[in-house]
Amino acid sequence: MPRRPSPQTEAVIGAMARDPATWRHGYDLLKELDLKAGTLYPILMRLCDRGVLEATWEAEPPAGRPPRHLYRLKGGVAPESRPEPGMVPAW
Amino acid sequence: MTRDLPARGLALAVRALPAAHRDWGLAMQAELAAVEDAAARRSFALGCTRTLLTRPATLLRLAGAALLPAAGAVSIVLALRIANLGVRAEALVLIAALAGVLWLGRRPGVLGPVAADVTSRRVRAASCAIVGALLVMVLLPSEAVGKRGVLSGRVGILWAWARGSSVLTVSRSF
């Protein structure tokens, strides 16, 4: 039986849905939503595994820094125009 | 890239990750590299480290890695209990040789790490199991098999050796 997403998961999806086509850094999301890394990353992992989010690596990182991961809603489409993501399996 | 305590701690946690989840560890490291405030770096690295180390897949991998030292310790204890001096020396040399092979199995070269795919790991585990069986035969003489617990002890040592070896000698180039 599907469970409701946690408030933090809903907050992440909500933040991404405000501009679904834009790729976001994990740390920016963390600051925007005032979440801890230990809360945000499990959510990002689950949502990526579930196919709600997609991730890619930065193409042109600043000199001296490794490329960062970028996240956005799958296909850059807001969730209301896609099937209900339902609940995410534990990992 | 800054190599302060948070970065080092996170790097250790990333090393413990199984291949399938390595990208997430690298993503966290890259993110940490973009954080400049010292307190924020500590908090971010701590959260990421906790996330990585509490994943079931990571815990399984760490448990697998811990099996081998345990099997080694049990083997040494059993070897030291062998009454015959020659056989005892033979057993200790065999244990040392196996430890050497394992060390080589983690370094680039002919005996180096195998790929992280299932077939490679099974072949490596099977070869380790054969060698482990030889060790068990030396450590536990055949007349002891009838005694309670000895057979399961043999199987336990063998399994721990094979499992630990296959976990530790998988390619880390993921």
Reported as a single tens digit per residue, the pLDDT across A21-58 is 889 999 999 999 999 999 999 999 999 988 899 999 98
pTM confidence score:
0.62
Number of A–B residue contacts, CB under 8 Å: 59
pLDDT of residue A87: 46
Q: What is the CA radius of gyration of chain B?
A: 20
- List pLDDT tens digits, range B39-71: 999 999 999 999 999 888 888 888 877 877 888
Measure CB to CB from residue B35 to each of A27, A45, A61 and give the nearest one: A27
Residues 6+ apart with CB under 8 A from B123: B114
Identify the closest residue of chain B to A37 by CA–CA distance. B47
Q: Are B139 and B82 in contact (CB under 8 A)?
A: yes
Interface residues on B facing A, Cβ-Cβ cutoff 8 A: 1, 23-24, 26-31, 33-35, 43-48, 50-51, 55-57
CB contact under 8 A, A66 and B33: yes
Calculate mean pLDDT across residues A51-67: 88
Alpha carbon of B119 to those of B98, B110, B122, B165: distances in Å?
22, 18, 5, 15
pLDDT of residue B50: 92
Chain A residue numbers touching B46 (CB-CB < 8 A): 37-38
CB burial readout B65-77, b (16+ within 10 A) else e: eebbeebbebbbe
CB contact under 8 A, B26 and A91: no
Architecture of domain A7-75: Orthogonal Bundle (1.10)
Residues 6+ apart with CB under 8 A from B32: B6, B7, B10, B41, B44, B45, B48
CB contact under 8 A, B47 and A39: yes
Measure CB to CB from residue B27 to each of A42, A69, A91 and give the nearest one: A69
Identify the closest residue of chain A to B51 by CA–CA distance. A38
